[in-house]
Amino acid sequence: MNAGSSARGSDLLERILPQLRVVKGPDKHGRYICWCPFHPDGQGDPPHRPNLSVSSLGYVCHACGAKGNLGHLAEELGLDLRPLRDRPEFAFDYRDENGLLLFQVCRLPGKRFYQRRPDGSGGWIRNLNGVRRVLYRLPQLLASREEPVYIVEGEKDADRLAEGNLTATTNPGGASKWRKEYGQPLRGREVIILPDNDEPGRRHALEVACQLDGIARSITIIELQDLPDKGDVSDWLSSGHTIQDLEALAECSPVWEPSDCDLVEGSRAGGVTKNSQASRLVALAEERGVKLFLDQYGCAFARLPVGDHQETWSCDSGEFREWLASALWESEGEGGNPGSLRSAITVIKAKAKFEGGRYALHNRVARHDNAFWLDLADREWRAVRVTASGWHIVSDPPILFRRYTHQRALPDPMRGGDLHDLLSFVNLTNPSDELLLIVYIVSCFVPSISHPIPVVYGPQGSAKTTLLRMLRRLIDPSAVEVLSLPDREEELTQQLSHHWAPYYDNISSVPARLSDSLCRAVTGQGFSKRRLYTNDGDVIYDFRRCVGINGINVPAGKPDLLDRCLLFGLRSIDPERRRSEEAVEDAFEAVRPLLLGGILDALSRAMGLRETVSLTRLPRMADFALWGCAIAPALGHTGQEFLSAYEMNTQVRNEEALLASPVAVMVAELMEHRTDWEGTPTGLLEELEALAKRNSINTRAADWPRAPHALTRRLNEVGPALAAVGVEIVKRRDGKRRGLLIVKTREMRHPA
């Protein structure tokens, strides 16, 4: 491609300069300094000065103020510009296999095009009579025979993709000008077609696909989302997408099938044929009673009959696609072509959006019709309905749940179980944590409340991972029982949205950016993620999850995350008491149905007690505390026993928060032998730094504040933990001067 616009500017400048008195130039920016022809002083001799600056971009006189583009300057000088007006902005070379120039496609201002061929003597003939037509960038196309080929609708789009190291081409003449011979260089190649966003573009893409059927190894048609009318792949890339996004989209898009060729014939006749396989698939879904709707996030779902029960699947899922193909085979004895399935699913999703209702779908547990529901995630799509009167399994529950492929079924619960039997598999360091653990397990079946994060810690060989796996099998069985903490927040959001009880294994520390995300997952604040392959479409997640983590030490370091945790310390297992993993597995699986039944029994009784619970002072995680006071009696304990255990665990959390913060440790030491301290943040920082140096604390570390305002933020974070051990921080302001008052409210209790 030749940059015609800059060439036109350079040619015009060459015609103008001889008409001016040039003093010097060009400089590194291509500017010339000349005498100005528009005022007398600009045409004279010293002491007058040449003030006209001229370049291919235009002109300006710094004395008289005359300025404009080169066309205006040429007119002022009386030059005839007609020969230049027909010069193209861009000229795209079409060459044969050996690189010989055959013809050019030229673009004039205003998106006007013409074609021309060399006349053999350095000039051009504006027609292609007798010239062989070839694909654009043919030599590059042949030089990369193993690479996928992107077919676009214009030369500038092909050049744009080639700049990103993709093999791209187009045919001369644009839409509806594809020739049969263009297919030969594409024989055996992987082809991706990118139509422009208009009806001629889509029709052209189908025509090209049908012409390449049986020639190309595979064909994919990708209609890029959120393009403007008549937009193309260059517009898509300019809107913020990348070449890597395009390659990923091509990788995951389904292969086009020749059954869509009937759509080409129908579109040529003025409309899509009504009896295509795609239209029959849509009609078949309606005939079989498929209920279409949107979930709370605006995604399309189908409630459909499978055997003697109903299932709920995303319209984009492989399960729904397989159901459609199976239904077609049963009805017509014909397999569903991928292209027809794609077309049918597109129509079905539109029907869900514009004709269906809206239902909130839940993951594993839900609240509906004055009851709690538990998805057993079995093949029959059964669920357990729990009320204050008891619980029972429902074979045909209402639309409540969506399924993910990793989920595994819960066992059928058995009545008469006792959740205390789980404690024989656990070796907790603190006996009071036993009640806290089983209360936590029952609370995980209460939807729509904030659930604390169990943090399981202890030395190697204390069965930390085993405990998390057992909890997972009781609450939310999965093919992936424990997860690795991802590096990116987007990946964490995806995991949290797909798991009711995501448990993270062997964590040494939780990064600050992910710590905030885990806090939001507990309290139910929203997450936002860009919808895949769109520019401005967002998916807004709003959920609460039962998150758990483990590590040798307590991995939660930030005070706001610790404030949402339950700390469960484990001790090493005595070698004489250690059992094989297989023996533990078999023993646990034998009692798992009874343990689940015991959980449901306790949950039902707690539902009847919950309204009678009231507390004069609500701790953090208030809903969990209130439910805990109802669950503990349902398990044979008292509410006060639970609150005492919760308070002891809170004290351990506060100690961990203090020990995790060098600022908090130094504030506690500062107040060791005094009742109060008053001063400015600057003064406090100086005293704390002096203490830190005496205690060999690295004040250059990332968690040590470098400035007074950073110290104030650290104090905000650790304030609740300091208050719990008897140190209160009060902020003051005297005019423009900020001050701090630190008061010892009682005899300090130091962390262990």
- Contact criterion met (CB below 8 Å) for 30 and 17: no
Task: Output the DSSP codes for 659-722.
Answer: HT-HHHHHHHHHTTT-SEEEE-HHHHHHHHHHHHHHTT--TTSTTS-SSHHHHHHHHHHHHHHH
For residues 334 and 588, give the distance between their C-alpha atoms in angstroms, rounded to a whole number: 48
Residue 590 has a pLDDT of 95
For residues 692 and 621, give the distance between their C-alpha atoms in angstroms, rounded to a whole number: 34
Judgement on whether residues 253 and 305 belong to the same structural domain of the protein? no
Q: Which domain holds residue 210?
A: 133-264
In terms of Cβ atoms closer than 10 Å to its own Cβ (0-12, 13-18, 19+), residue 102 is middle
Judgement on whether residues 441 and 550 belong to the same structural domain of the protein? yes
Q: Is the confidence at residue 260, as pLDDT, over 60?
A: no
Residue 540 has a pLDDT of 59
Structural tokens at position 529:
């993620």
Most distant CA pair in the chain, distance: 111
Judgement on whether residues 544 and 667 belong to the same structural domain of the protein? no
Burial 21-55 (b: 16+ CB within 10 A, else e): eeeeeeeeeebbbbbbbebeebeeeeeeebbbbbb
For residues 605 and 387, give the distance between their C-alpha atoms in angstroms, rounded to a whole number: 8
Listed residue (141, 201, 134, 207) closest to 174, CA to CA: 201
Does the pTM surpass 0.75? The reply is no
Residue 107 has a pLDDT of 85
Judgement on whether residues 549 and 604 belong to the same structural domain of the protein? yes
* Domain-located, residue 256: yes
Q: Is the confidence at residue 208, as pLDDT, over 80?
A: yes
583-613: per-residue pLDDT in tens? 999 999 999 999 999 999 999 999 999 999 9
* Domain-located, residue 16: yes
Residue 312 has a pLDDT of 95
For residues 287 and 308, give the distance between their C-alpha atoms in angstroms, rounded to a whole number: 17
* Cβ atoms < 10 Å from Cβ of 512: 12
141-182: per-residue pLDDT in tens? 999 988 999 999 999 999 999 999 999 999 998 887 899 899
* Domain-located, residue 210: yes
Judgement on whether residues 628 and 675 belong to the same structural domain of the protein? no
- Contact criterion met (CB below 8 Å) for 135 and 141: yes
424-446 average pLDDT score:
94
Residue 266 has a pLDDT of 39
* Domain-located, residue 122: no
For residues 49 and 491, give the distance between their C-alpha atoms in angstroms, rounded to a whole number: 65
In terms of Cβ atoms closer than 10 Å to its own Cβ (0-12, 13-18, 19+), residue 398 is middle
* Domain-located, residue 369: no
Residue 608 has a pLDDT of 95
CATH number at residue 43: 3.90.580
Judgement on whether residues 187 and 243 belong to the same structural domain of the protein? yes
* Domain-located, residue 347: yes
Judgement on whether residues 623 and 677 belong to the same structural domain of the protein? no
Structural tokens at position 747:
């005899």
Residue 3 has a pLDDT of 42
Task: Output the DSSP codes for 110-165.
Answer: TTEEEEEEE-SSS-EESS-TTPPP--TTHHHHHH-TTS-EEE-SSHHHHHHHHHTT
Judgement on whether residues 231 and 303 belong to the same structural domain of the protein? no
Least confident of 6-20, 154-168, 498-512, 630-644: 6-20
**How many domains, the chain?**
5
* Domain-located, residue 111: no
Which amino acid type is present at position 748? M
Residue at a domain's end among 264, 290, 308: 264
521 to each of 36, 445, 455, 489, 656, how far by Cα in Å? 70, 16, 15, 12, 22
Q: Is the confidence at residue 673, as pLDDT, over 80?
A: yes
211-245: per-residue pLDDT in tens? 898 899 889 999 888 788 889 999 999 888 899 88
* Cβ atoms < 10 Å from Cβ of 508: 9
Percent share of the chain, pLDDT over 90:
43
* Domain-located, residue 56: yes
Judgement on whether residues 569 and 543 belong to the same structural domain of the protein? yes
Structural tokens at position 261:
């060729």
Q: Is the confidence at residue 484, as pLDDT, over 50?
A: yes
Residue at a domain's end among 264, 299, 321: 264
Q: How confident is the model at residue 514 (pLDDT cuts 50, 70, 90)?
A: confident
Percent share of the chain, pLDDT over 70:
91
Listed residue (477, 472, 511, 474) closest to 491, CA to CA: 511
450-469: per-residue pLDDT in tens? 999 999 999 988 889 999 99
250-265 average pLDDT score:
66
275-285 average pLDDT score:
85
Q: Is the confidence at residue 672, as pLDDT, over 90?
A: no
532-537 average pLDDT score:
40
- Is 724 or 352 the better-scoring residue by pLDDT? 352
CATH number at residue 691: 3.90.1150.220
Q: What are phi and psi of 683, to 5 degrees?
A: -65, -40
Q: How confident is the model at residue 419 (pLDDT cuts 50, 70, 90)?
A: very high
CATH number at residue 443: 3.40.50
Judgement on whether residues 681 and 622 belong to the same structural domain of the protein? no
Judgement on whether residues 13 and 157 belong to the same structural domain of the protein? no
Measured at the CA of 167, the angle between CA 163 and CA 168, to 5 degrees, comes to 85
For residues 440 and 452, give the distance between their C-alpha atoms in angstroms, rounded to a whole number: 8
Cis peptide before 26 (omega within 30 of 0): yes
Q: Is the confidence at residue 430, as pLDDT, over 70?
A: yes
188-215 average pLDDT score:
90
Judgement on whether residues 497 and 601 belong to the same structural domain of the protein? yes
* Cβ atoms < 10 Å from Cβ of 192: 26
Q: How confident is the model at residue 736 (pLDDT cuts 50, 70, 90)?
A: low
Q: Is the confidence at residue 321, as pLDDT, over 50?
A: yes
- Is 467 or 261 the better-scoring residue by pLDDT? 467
603-648: per-residue pLDDT in tens? 999 999 999 999 888 888 899 999 999 999 999 999 999 999 999 9
Q: Which long-range contacts (CB under 8 A, 24 or more apart) does 154-159 make?
A: 154/196, 154/232, 155/1, 155/90, 155/92, 155/105, 156/1, 156/90, 156/92, 156/234, 157/194, 157/232, 157/233, 157/234, 159/1, 159/92
Residue at a domain's end among 597, 623, 648: 648
